């Protein structure tokens, strides 16, 4: 049974100086000996996908504390690829991934943290934290800040017209669109906090973290503004303590990131990536994560998988009328994985932080599950209100999209 890593700085006379410093951070006498959980946050006011993460960090910390841990939060940097695009700022985007990985490694190891929760969201932050999880191989959970609602226009009658950031790029270069129309689109293309609403790099990687087994169901698709997201953050904070107990008390190494993100898990992730039409940047990031986890997953594997897996979920920017919120209504990441499993394209024996994929599918696949709670979870809808407040609305779809012939997810 492994000792808590933090005992080196919290137990015995040799740790007197470290305990003195821990006390100055607010740790009480009665808390020494409890697991120290690093919360790797990435809050910043520069990035819409991260502007709300200060509140998220506090919510996760409360859940860790309630479950018996000592939460200790730090922040990494976060670059907005959209704002950095088109000028020398883009030179800093990909290298920031490595800084984020290093920051997580340095903070966790320097302070002997026992486990880590990664609060990520956007393009290079989720991959950077994923790399750190596999590099450190301590108990860990990934939970992203959640996707942005799609942009909308309320002109005319009926349902609002939806669009996203990609449409503003097209509009800005279309001489047939007036300055006034382009500005109107600009003002509502990104209406809320969260990662951009299409299947761009950020949402692709947050979905793949779910398939790799390092994030809980819903991580890739529950909107940042929806109250269901708050439940996911609280669940992640509580769940890390279950993983800590399994590893440090029960000597169960199967809960560690490298035991979960195996070659089979990476192949599942790549299968999912092709099926959902994910960003091509995912190839770059999955290969880097595999290298960190010492997994023999390479371009030959990607080529082999890409020749047999169909694209069964087309989302913006591949099509204009579906966004991540629509994927969620159709059953989210697990809904897509369920269709792939029924087609014999997914290895359902792989482990996850919450068990194994077969069990997760039986509980969370909306086609198979009879759970009202699960169907209610996937009914979470956009609020259609401009806001940067997280989990601030509880709007629901009247029905789920279970049409696998013509809906967002196909069979």
* Residue-wise pLDDT tens digits, 78-132: 999 999 999 999 999 999 999 999 999 999 999 999 999 999 999 999 999 999 9
Name the 3-class secondary structure at 37: strand
CA distances from 110 to 6, 12, 103, 105, 106 (A): 10, 18, 10, 8, 6
Instruction: Indicate the average pLDDT of the chain.
Output: 96
pLDDT given at position 116: 99
Domains of the chain: 1-31 (no CATH), 34-150+191-377 (3.40.50.2300)
Mean of the pLDDT values across residues 149-165?
Answer: 72
- Measured CA to CA, the distance from residue 179 to residue 397 in angstroms comes to 34
Q: Nearest 10 degrees: CA dihedral of 265, 266, 272, 276?
A: 150
First to last CA, the chain: 45
Cis amide leading into 317 (omega within 30): yes
Closest CA to 125 of 61, 195, 73: 195
- Torsion-angle region of residue 156: left (phi > 0), alpha (psi -120 to 50) or beta? left
pLDDT given at position 386: 95
pLDDT given at position 163: 73
156: pLDDT strictly greater than 70: no
pLDDT given at position 176: 83
pLDDT given at position 154: 66
The band of 175, judged by pLDDT with boundaries at 50, 70 and 90, is confident
- Measured CA to CA, the distance from residue 114 to residue 143 in angstroms comes to 18
Mean of the pLDDT values across residues 175-196?
Answer: 88
pLDDT given at position 158: 55
Mean of the pLDDT values across residues 336-356?
Answer: 98
Strands annotated E in 82-203: 115-120, 140-144, 151-153, 161-163
Mean of the pLDDT values across residues 282-303?
Answer: 99
pLDDT digit string (tens) for 56-74?
A: 999 999 999 999 999 999 9
The band of 49, judged by pLDDT with boundaries at 50, 70 and 90, is very high
């Amino acid at each position: 049974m492994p000792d808590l890593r933090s005992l080196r700085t919290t137990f015995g006379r040799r740790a007197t100086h470290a305990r003195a410093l821990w006390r100055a951070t607010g740790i009480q006498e009665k808390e020494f000996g409890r697991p120290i959980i690093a919360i790797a946050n990435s809050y910043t006011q520069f990035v819409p996908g991260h502007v709300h993460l200060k509140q998220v960090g506090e919510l996760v910390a409360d859940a860790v504390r309630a479950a018996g841990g000592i939460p200790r939060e730090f922040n990494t940097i976060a670059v907005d690829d959209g704002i950095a695009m088109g000028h020398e700022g883009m030179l800093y985007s990909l290298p920031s991934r490595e800084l984020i990985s290093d920051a997580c490694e340095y903070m966790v190891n320097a302070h002997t943290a026992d486990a880590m929760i990664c609060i990520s969201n956007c393009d290079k932050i989720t991959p950077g934290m994923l790399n750190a999880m596999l590099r450190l191989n301590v108990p860990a959970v990934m939970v992203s800040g959640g996707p942005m609602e799609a942009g909308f226009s309320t002109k005319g009658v009926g349902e609002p017209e939806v669009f996203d950031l990609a449409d503003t790029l097209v509009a800005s270069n279309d001489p047939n669109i007036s300055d006034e129309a382009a500005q109107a689109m600009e003002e509502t293309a990104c209406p809320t906090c969260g990662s951009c609403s299409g299947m761009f790099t950020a949402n692709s990687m947050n979905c793949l973290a779910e398939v790799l087994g390092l994030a809980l169901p819903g991580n890739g698709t529950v909107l940042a503004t929806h109250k269901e997201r708050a439940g996911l953050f609280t669940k992640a904070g509580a769940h890390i303590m279950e993983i800590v107990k399994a590893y440090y008390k029960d000597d169960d190494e199967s809960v560690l990131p490298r035991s979960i993100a195996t070659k089979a898990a990476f192949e599942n992730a790549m299968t999912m990536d092709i099926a959902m039409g994910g960003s091509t940047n995912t190839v770059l990031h999955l290969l880097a994560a595999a290298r960190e986890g010492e997994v023999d997953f390479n371009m030959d594997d990607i080529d082999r998988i890409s020749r047999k897996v169909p694209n069964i979920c087309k989302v913006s920017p591949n099509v204009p009328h579906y966004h991540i919120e629509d994927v969620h209504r159709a059953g989210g990441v697990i809904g897509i994985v369920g269709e792939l499993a029924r087609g014999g394209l997914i290895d359902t024996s792989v482990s996850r932080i919450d068990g194994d994929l077969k069990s997760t599918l039986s509980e969370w696949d909306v086609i198979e599950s009879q759970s009202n709670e699960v169907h209610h979870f996937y009914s979470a809808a956009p609020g259609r209100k401009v806001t940067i407040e997280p989990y601030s609305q509880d709007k629901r779809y009247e029905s789920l999209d279970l049409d696998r012939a013509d809906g967002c997810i196909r069979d």
